[in-house]
């Protein structure tokens, strides 16, 4: 990055003051962006307590517990850090700690747990037994948090993580408010600690534009926007953050990042897994809501945005929003023409037999939900007018890969046409995962007499270049939320705009319009109709 400003490690409660709001409260201070070079080493949050509401689910086991442990292991958490797991199961503190330890041993990128680190981490893990719908449980929680502030020195700083189905968000937010747990700083009652309060909400954030707007309104009744951290975990991936560094930290790419040089862009989010045990959720959600509305459109926005004036959370999100505003929602005819939806039937993935989606547990046998989507979108802006963005996402595909592939326009003159070799268009493939890296494909002369041309690759790989493990997305995002940096979280207007783009497609598909549901065998690259979507434009999907 051009600008390098290293934030000092915070040592106590925030001291700078921002203007008061009408109600006498003050918004939290914006913090510098984590993309800033040099910041990594300085990222230590203030002492705080994180409360995981609905802590006995899959998310805590697979993502949150390992992420917190790795942050502790990396020295990113202050010793006072405490995590309170709030759920209905009748567990003791010790049972919860054992559960966390198993989760880390099974899912952490660093394992097995290191006993010395574990001991100090485990001391800060508590279980809060209660029903998330019971007001008394929140009154008890408030008492517990005050006690933790006194005993462990967490300074009244609280991060609530809503690891529950979205239908419960409004209720939990309201309960937190009623128990006096939502206020930050000076809005807190006299005699209590004046720390900050933040809330992390998981995706999916709503199920269409209207429900997302309603949810935003309900949460905004209690929390200010700068207290709300809407997770899209793709934004926490190193390679996605590197998109900004790649584009704006190098002089080479930005001048050609536009319609004059770029022919088209393909975004692929391919998974080998099927819906596994998530049949109920998936039947109600589908690939468009599960992947495209958030991960797919965020990748597109990060790829296509203009350089922000500064790397502050709001400048960055303003630029992403501009991209999304340029994507016009489709007309009903465009939905038929520019979208393809598919569902997998039985097949083979990586040598394993996969049952049809409709045979997965808790999926109705006549489910019309899509497990595959391909879309063609365009961005009406000076930079991108006329450049198609093809986005596809699917389950039970042959390979797990997420990548953004840029196809450049051909050279204006086919000087080497007589060499008898077709030079393919240049491709720049940004590999988000796995084998994170960037590949440039171009034509080169085959050594020897005569003129033969072959396509070759120039390949940068994170693994071999840096020889260090990247943090998991949840590590980065939890740390950012504790620091108060909203850059890698989606803002209310961004989320709503993403739904607005997809609403016509959602509606058309729900009405049985917008083209048929195509079937594809597990282990193939989706239905042939998805290939036809590109063939009509004289293009083809890249095989990643
Ligand atoms: C989640 C989706 O947001 O992302 C899942 O709900 C999907 O269906 C997952 O499997 C993919 O994440 P990742 O990090 O494994 O690519």
| pLDDT tens column, 312-368 | 999 999 999 999 999 999 999 999 999 999 999 999 999 999 999 999 999 999 999
Contact 91, 127 (CB under 8 A): yes
**Nearest residue by C-alpha to atom 13 in ligand 1:** 234
pLDDT at 124 over 60: yes
Question: Pairing mode, if any, of strands 158-162 and 49-53?
Answer: parallel
* Of the candidate ranges 468-477, 496-505, 521-530, the one whose mean pLDDT is the lowest: 468-477
Residue 112 and residue 89: Cα distance in Å, rounded?
A: 26
Which of 295, 369, 403 for a ligand 1 pocket mutation test, highest count of atoms within 8 Å of Cβ? 295
Alpha-carbon 245 to chain mean position: 18
pLDDT of residue 42: 60
Mean pLDDT (the chain, rounded): 90
Model's pTM, two decimal places? 0.90
Task: Please state, for a pLDDT cut of 70, what percent of the chain lies above it.
Answer: 91
- Which is catalytic among the residues 107, 295, 337, 518? 295
Q: Which of 63, 232, 233 to mutate to test the pocket of ligand 1 (most atoms within 8 A of CB)?
A: 233
Question: 42: which 2 tokens?
Answer: 């300085």
**Intra-chain end-to-end CA distance of the chain, in Å:** 29
Q: What is the pLDDT at residue 9?
A: 34
- 70 in Cβ contact with 109 (< 8 Å): yes
* pLDDT per residue as tens digits for the range 262-309: 999 999 999 999 998 889 999 999 999 999 999 999 999 999 999 999
106 CA from centroid of ligand 1 (Å): 18
Predicted pLDDT of residue 35: 46
The predicted structure's pLDDT at residue 111 = 85
Residue 285 CA: which ligand 1 atom is closest? Answer: 6
Q: Which of 347, 422, 405 is nearest to 541 (CA)?
A: 405
Q: Please identify which residue in the block is written with the tokens 């910041």.
A: 39
* Ligand 1 nearest-atom number relative to CA 271: 10
62, 271, 278, 370, best to mutate for ligand 1 pocket (most atoms within 8 Å of CB): 271
Ligand 1 centroid, distance to 167 Cα (angstroms): 20
Distance 34 CA to ligand 1 centre (A): 23
| Residue 128 annotated in active site | no
Asked whether the predicted pLDDT for residue 377 surpasses 80, the reply is yes
| Choice among 6-20, 69-83, 365-379 with the minimum mean pLDDT | 6-20
Pocket of ligand 1 from Cβ distances under 6 Å: 271, 290
Rounded CA-CA distance 27/91 in Å is 37
pLDDT band (50, 70, 90) for residue 188: confident
Q: How confident is the model at residue 45 (pLDDT cuts 50, 70, 90)?
A: very high
Ligand 1 atom 9 nearest Cα:
291
> Helix, strand, coil shares of the chain as percentages rounded to 5?
40, 20, 45
Average pLDDT rounded to a whole number, residues 441-460: 90
């Amino acid at each position: 990055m051009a600008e390098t400003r290293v934030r000092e490690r915070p040592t106590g409660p925030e001291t700078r003051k921002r203007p008061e709001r009408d109600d006498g409260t003050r918004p939290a201070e914006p913090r510098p962006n984590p993309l800033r070079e040099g910041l990594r080493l300085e990222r230590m949050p203030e002492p705080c307590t994180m409360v995981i509401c609905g802590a006995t689910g899959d998310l805590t086991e697979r993502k949150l517990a390992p992420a917190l442990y790795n942050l502790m292991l990396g020295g990113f958490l202050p010793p006072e850090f405490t995590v309170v797991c709030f759920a209905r199961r009748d567990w003791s503190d010790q049972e919860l700690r054992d559960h966390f330890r198993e989760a880390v041993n099974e899912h952490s990128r660093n394992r097995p747990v290191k006993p010395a680190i574990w001991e100090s981490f485990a001391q800060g893990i508590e279980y809060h037994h209660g029903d998330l719908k019971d007001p008394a449980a929140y009154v008890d929680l408030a008492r517990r948090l005050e006690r933790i502030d006194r005993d462990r020195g967490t300074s009244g700083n609280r991060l609530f993580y809503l690891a529950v189905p979205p239908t419960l968000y409004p209720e939990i937010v309201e309960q937190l408010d009623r128990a006096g747990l939502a206020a930050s700083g000076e809005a807190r009652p006299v005699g209590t600690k004046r720390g900050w309060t933040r809330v992390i909400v998981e995706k999916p954030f709503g199920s269409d534009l209207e429900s997302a707007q309603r949810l935003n309104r309900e949460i905004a009744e209690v929390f200010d926007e700068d207290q709300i951290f809407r997770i899209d975990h793709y934004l926490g991936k190193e390679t996605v953050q590197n998109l900004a560094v790649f584009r704006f930290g190098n002089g080479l790419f930005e001048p050609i990042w536009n319609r004059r040089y770029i022919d088209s862009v393909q975004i692929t989010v391919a998974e080998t897994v099927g819906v596994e045990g998530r049949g109920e959720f998936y039947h109600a959600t589908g690939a468009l809501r599960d992947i495209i509305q958030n991960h797919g459109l965020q990748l597109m926005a990060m790829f296509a945005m203009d350089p922000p004036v500064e790397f502050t959370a709001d400048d960055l999100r303003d630029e992403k929003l501009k991209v999304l505003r340029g994507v016009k929602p489709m007309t009903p005819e465009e939905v038929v023409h520019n979208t393809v939806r598919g569902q997998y039937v039985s097949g083979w993935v990586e040598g394993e037999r996969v049952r049809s989606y409709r045979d997965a547990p808790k999926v109705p046998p006549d489910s019309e939900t899509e497990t595959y989507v391909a879309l063609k979108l365009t961005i009406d802006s000076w930079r991108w007018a006329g450049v198609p963005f093809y986005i596809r996402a699917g389950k039970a595909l042959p390979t797990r890969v997420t990548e953004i592939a840029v196809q450049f326009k051909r050279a204006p003159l086919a000087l080497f046409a007589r060499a008898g070799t077709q030079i393919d268009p240049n491709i720049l493939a940004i590999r988000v995962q796995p084998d994170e890296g960037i590949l440039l494909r171009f034509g080169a002369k085959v050594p020897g007499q005569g003129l033969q041309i072959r396509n070759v690759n120039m390949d940068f790989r994170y693994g071999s270049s840096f020889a260090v493990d990247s943090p998991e997305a949840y590590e980065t995002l939890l740390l950012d939320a504790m620091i108060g940096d909203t850059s890698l979280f989606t803002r209310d207007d961004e989320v709503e705009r993403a739904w607005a783009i997809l609403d016509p497609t959602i509606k058309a598909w729900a009405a049985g319009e917008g083209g048929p549901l195509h079937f594809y065998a597990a282990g193939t690259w989706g239905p042939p109709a998805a290939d036809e979507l590109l063939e009509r434009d004289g293009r083809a999907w890249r095989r990643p």
